[in-house]
Structure 1
């Protein structure tokens, strides 16, 4: 893998090194799509998938090596990571054979991109509060979807979306939900970009107005959406976390190089904070290795419950360290109107790390209730 990356991350792809990923998704989207297909040509997409579905059938150990080598080489963030890391494993675990044959080849080839339709204006960290509805139209023989999703990463670049919607209009919480596979390019779906603090629009709002979903494109039975959705979130805590940590290491390495160059490393407090960041990243890695013993259906060990809270807080602190190392330079832009450096963009974006994917407060509740078996937080009943 390392040799292949060295030979291929050149020429037109040279500019992609260390680009892409959270906070930098707006960079070189078309070029990164071409890179995704280049990976596919070399057989380097979906390496952990079974061979019968186009993967390499790599072991957990081999997948760890792959993700770490990929990040170490500075290869760009995957534009297809939702499909490869979430949609695919979910369909392999819960989907029908027809669904696998329909959707998995496009993901393996790097030609069909997916986005995630989970969060809503009133259902962010509280996913079970979704209001988007799905009804089956007997005349059309299709599911009709109405509602809104928000914070949908790369929806503007995606070909498909998986959507959690309520199949039983009278149901509440996690009951009565369905998990749907939908084509983005259709009259009933509208995507609106959300401008972020960084001046870019990585996230989107997605509106469904009588959007259609084929009858066979619900994963599991109506009412089983919560089980499928939770299985998918388990895959989110999989081997890709090791690649994420290598990207964190690349950021830390850049911060250390700047500290040595501009003299910030002579400050004992800065040195202590850099050492603390290094130690924190090592702890993150060791806990991730414990996490990887989860089941093939996305089930997780309790060690996985702390991961989101830990990395989000660590990464937010790294952004603050970067600004302090840069000093006065951190408050200046190279050119108008909003030309942020990589570290400036990272600092602004990581403010969201402790919010998306479940806020820190929600993560603490999950740890307390699911991990430690403590009583659930009291709820206020509104009359």
Structure 2
């Protein structure tokens, strides 16, 4: 996925990528070693002809009134093609100067960091510089009035300049601050980092799919799959952070600063890591000067050097979070909620007026508990309606009860069950009359459910099936009323066939439940032994032998959720402890805040894709992997921040809860498919690497 989500930005990004690819940026970079002025001028002229110069300027200054996100989408596309020359600095300057810009024909060099280091100085007609000896005053000067020495640095696709002598004059820019310059620069640099990361990911996975070693494509080796999947995770995080930083530039200063800190903490380091891993996947060819990979590594490393590594931004983010700031991402429904908002607000208010113990039934009756489910159990709601319902419930202070395993069982019954099964199980699940557990995993079949051995034998006389086997890691089995269960009904069929989906009454004769004490000390997991358990025919979902397909069911109308501004239990706790932490620990808190925020942003981007009429993208698959890492790392960080209190205050309820959370989150990278298995799946199904 790229930065753009709606049709306009997707088309802009696609057209610019195609155009930029035709300019052969890497070849131009190599040509610039001999004559950078001529080469860079050709690219600049082509960019101006394409309309990139002046994209962010108002029409009064000869521009196109483009938004910061428009500019970010353009920069991402140009970075993907590694177009050289003055692009980033002038783009940032356009956003900063707006009506005060000298015009779309001007190239403005920028000094966002050290006052004597000017970006794109050799090509610039004007320079935007901090005024000498002034406190946070910026001036726009003609380049000819400043003595600037060209600098060739690590990034061969750009030229910089060093101010060699004192200078004076220029026109002061009203209202421009270092903070605004810095957050605008990092937002646009993050967009470039996204383009770099995308190119590196695509290049590595394409190569891994065809390069053979030991008679097989290297992409079929799990180690290479995992490298590429980790690149995908990082690239999605970089893109999400860059997108939000660009969007937030139009928000208030507090929100823009928070989003910029997240982008600085995530995108700059992330692009470097993806570029490094790209070279690792490419192997020897990636280490040659002839291959383009090192040029992208040089671009990413220079961006980080100029703007500071992730730790610098994380420290700022930790302080911002400690002061109470959180990223509040609002989804613009574009007026599409106008026809339904008032009705839902009125009806939700009616639910809020009920006694608390009557609200759940009212939510079920109105379809508000699961609005994405079809009627009569939901509203069959489109993404806009789902968000409206969510927002109105939050406004009224009404929380939805957690269906737990019922949230997996009921959708399967809805989509594949009979009318009688839907009537019997779905509504009681919603109202809480029926609780569920999941009898899938076995001692020899965890993530590999196709290897399950629990067998189901037909009993014609009894009108059902006899199930025998052992299930394990079964959450809530000791309190569940019913279970969804996979069992093998045809031992001679291929592994993924001959499996049937059953609904099992947990009170049936022949079921033995043995609690499994977890490392937390709790016993939520259980072993479940099935000894000739009769399951009647009316509790078979779908057709016998079709259980594997049913087990992977989700409703076609996927759930769309609104974003939360909270960072998660452990991350919020880490922020609360940050005041007594060392500077190094505060940096770690900042990184935890950044990752938790990115996880929220991935969800927002999935929602926006749904609103635009598109199915889930890579971010929805990556969200689980990054979400697990966020919760595990944050809970471990909290315990580290507590230090000796873990021992000295072990009986303190808060400390005990912190320790319990750290221990409990170890299951997250195992439950629902281990992280390693999910990375393999992502590499094969999203990146297209061979099995």
TM-score of Structure 1 vs Structure 2, range by shorter chain: 0.7 to 0.9
Cα 1:77/1:109, change in 2 over 3 Å: closer
The correspondence for 1:96, drawn from 408, 411, 418, is 418
The correspondence for 1:81, drawn from 369, 381, 404, is 404
Cα 1:367/1:357, change in 2 over 3 Å: same
Distance 1:184 1:220 in 2: 20
What CA deviation, in whole Å up to 9, does each residue of 1:153-197 have, x standing for no partner? 111111110001111022342111111111111112111111011
Q: Contact (CA 8 Å) 1:238, 1:291: kept in 2 or not? A: no
The correspondence for 1:305, drawn from 621, 630, 633, is 621
Q: Tell me the C-alpha RMSD between the 2 structures.
A: 3.4
Distance 2:378 2:484 in 1: 21
Distance 1:346 1:70 in 2: 28
- Displacement of 1:290 in angstroms is 4.3
Cα 1:301/1:100, change in 2 over 3 Å: farther
- The equivalent residue for 1:107 is 429
Query: Does 2:573 align with 1:249?
Result: no
Q: Contact (CA 8 Å) 1:308, 1:363: kept in 2 or not? A: no
- Displacement of 1:217 in angstroms is 1.6
Cα 1:77/1:102, change in 2 over 3 Å: closer
- The equivalent residue for 2:531 is 209
Q: Contact (CA 8 Å) 1:148, 1:207: kept in 2 or not? A: yes
- The equivalent residue for 2:634 is 318
Q: Secondary structure at the match of 1:151?
A: coil
What are the equivalent positions in structure 2 for 1:28-47 lying under 5 Å apart? 38-43=359-364, 45-47=369-371
Q: Secondary structure at the match of 2:552?
A: helix
Q: TM-score, normalising length from structure 2?
A: 0.44
What are the equivalent positions in structure 2 for 1:356-367 lying under 5 Å apart? 356-367=671-682
Q: Secondary structure at the match of 2:495?
A: coil
- The equivalent residue for 1:258 is 577
- The equivalent residue for 1:117 is 439
Q: Contact (CA 8 Å) 2:437, 2:475: kept in 1 or not? A: yes
Cα 1:69/1:126, change in 2 over 3 Å: farther
Distance 2:355 2:566 in 1: 17
Q: Contact (CA 8 Å) 2:450, 2:495: kept in 1 or not? A: yes
Cα 1:219/1:62, change in 2 over 3 Å: same
Query: Does 2:220 align with 1:220?
Result: no
What are the equivalent positions in structure 2 for 1:41-56 lying under 5 Å apart? 41-43=362-364, 45-52=369-376, 54-56=377-379
- The equivalent residue for 1:17 is none
Distance 2:509 2:655 in 1: 36
Q: Contact (CA 8 Å) 2:487, 2:499: kept in 1 or not? A: yes
What CA deviation, in whole Å up to 9, does each residue of 1:174-227 have, x standing for no partner? 111111111111112111111011110111111111112120221111111111
What are the equivalent positions in structure 2 for 1:1-383 lying under 5 Å apart? 38-43=359-364, 45-52=369-376, 54-63=377-386, 78=401, 80-83=403-406, 85-232=407-554, 239=559, 249-260=568-579, 263-264=580-581, 267-291=582-606, 301-332=617-648, 334-335=650-651, 341-376=656-691
Q: Secondary structure at the match of 1:216?
A: helix
- Displacement of 1:90 in angstroms is 1.7
Unaligned runs of 5+ in 2: 1-344
Q: Secondary structure at the match of 1:157?
A: coil
Cα 1:68/1:286, change in 2 over 3 Å: farther
- The equivalent residue for 1:26 is none
- Displacement of 1:306 in angstroms is 2.3
Q: Looking at CA atoms only, which structure, 1 or 2, has the larger radius of gyration?
A: 2
Indicate the structure whose relative CO is greater, using CA pairs within 8 Å and at least 6 residues apart.
1
- Displacement of 1:59 in angstroms is 3.7
Distance 2:602 2:667 in 1: 23
